[in-house]
Amino acid sequence: MRPVDDTGAAKRLESGLPLVDIPPPGSRQESAATEVAETPGPGGCWQCPSLPCGSRAEQEAEKKAPCPGLGLFYTLLSAFLFSVGSLFVKKVQDIHAVEISAFRCVFQMLIIIPCLIYRKTGFIGPKGQRIFLLLRGVLGSSAMILLYYAYQSTSLADATVISFSCPVFTSIIACIFLKEKYSPWDAVFTAFTITGVILIVRPPFLFGSEVVETDKDYSVHLKGAFAALVHAVFAAVTLVILRKIGTSVDYMLSIWYYVVAGLTECIIALSILGEWSLPHCGLDRLFLILIGLFGLGGQVFLAKAIQIEKAGLVALMKTMDVVFAFIFQIIFFHDVPSWWTVGGSLCVVASSIGAAVRKWYQSSK
């Protein structure tokens, strides 16, 4: 009597079927799974099919991971470019600050229009966000005009330091309108900033009339300091509006509203003041072009820094604006800051550093 296996083999031979054992139903799925497992996936190799090849993974990691400290370098470069731009604004004394702002808006408009066409975002924006975009444009451009006026009216260091009080006003306005938390630490930083601004402005009702008598240009200094302070408030409101808009609007469209509103404001203001005039000196024309270039470069590098670095570290490195302002004021204008300015600067910078370190600590938890 033949075994059962031999009988089956004989029948298969007689019927012309190949002499191959039929695997059980579950074994086909196992072999298919084995073949899939042995097939290298994307980024894999035949030696280690289930994992990406080591060399290729390292290359991809090197491409994705930015160079350590690159974001801080971008922030430092941005601070330097902004400071050089403010230096040129201070150098151009024969042209009104409003006209300088108008030239910058025209320069940026020539760059923004091709970008909007390429990105196909349109020139108006979403229906529900247009009012916020318009407010962002009006307040942001007004802040720019006031800062340029402050650079021309007071010292470079004083205007820069007072403009650094913007984060304090941002936290207060965000607490009122966006219902963001305002902690006791924020109150401490606010007190430091207000103290620093008072030391820089030195109002006569606190420091006596001797300040006005000893400083012949005190009235001009007071106007510049007040312009820098209003710039900080307007810039803070602008930041709150940008937080409100969020990512629902392309950032290029936001800059477009800023440029259009700024140019419109400048044309109206120059028509009323009667200050419109082309620069007579060729060096002033060069300065106007450089103001636009360095301002745009500072914005680009600051945006790139925020993309790859923590916001707290960027804000911390941004305080180098004050250092560059002091250096440029001493080297190019031979104007050594007073001890009042130094003390006020330390208070404002300490407030900015404290706020940045606190945000960094909260984000690292």
- Residues 282-318 as b/e (b if ≥16 CB within 10 A, e otherwise) read eebeebbebbbbbbbbbeebbebbbeebbebbbbbbb
* Residue 164: per-residue pLDDT: 85
Q: Do residues 132 and 241 make contact, with C-beta atoms less than 8 angstroms apart?
A: yes
* Alpha carbons 29 and 21: distance in angstroms, whole number: 16
Q: Is 52 helix (H, G, I), strand (E, B) or coil?
A: strand
Work out the percent of the chain whose per-residue pLDDT is above 90.
20
- At 296, the amino acid letter reads L
72 domain-assigned? no
Q: What is the mean pLDDT of residues 149-153?
A: 92
For the purposes of burial, counting CB atoms within 10 Å of the CB of 87, is it exposed (0-12), middle (13-18) or buried (19 or more)? buried
The residues, any chain, with a CB within 8 Å of residue 20's CB and separated by 6 or more, are none
177 domain-assigned? yes
274 domain-assigned? yes
Task: Please state the domain count of the chain.
Answer: 1
Residue 327: how many other CB atoms lie within 10 Å: 14
57 domain-assigned? no
Q: What is the mean pLDDT of the chain?
A: 77
**In the block, residue with structure tokens 């108006």:** 124
Q: What is the mean pLDDT of residues 32-52?
A: 45
Predicted confidence (pLDDT) at residue 186 exceeds the cutoff of 60: yes
Predicted confidence (pLDDT) at residue 342 exceeds the cutoff of 80: yes
Confidence of residue 331 (pLDDT cuts 50, 70, 90): very high
132 domain-assigned? yes
Predicted confidence (pLDDT) at residue 32 exceeds the cutoff of 70: no
245 domain-assigned? yes
- Residues 36-64 as b/e (b if ≥16 CB within 10 A, e otherwise) read eeeebeeebeeeeeeebbeeeeeeeeeee
* Structure tokens, 54: 């080591």
Containing structural domain, residue 322: 93-361
299 domain-assigned? yes
* Alpha carbons 30 and 40: distance in angstroms, whole number: 17
Say if pTM beats, i.e. exceeds, 0.85: no
7 domain-assigned? no
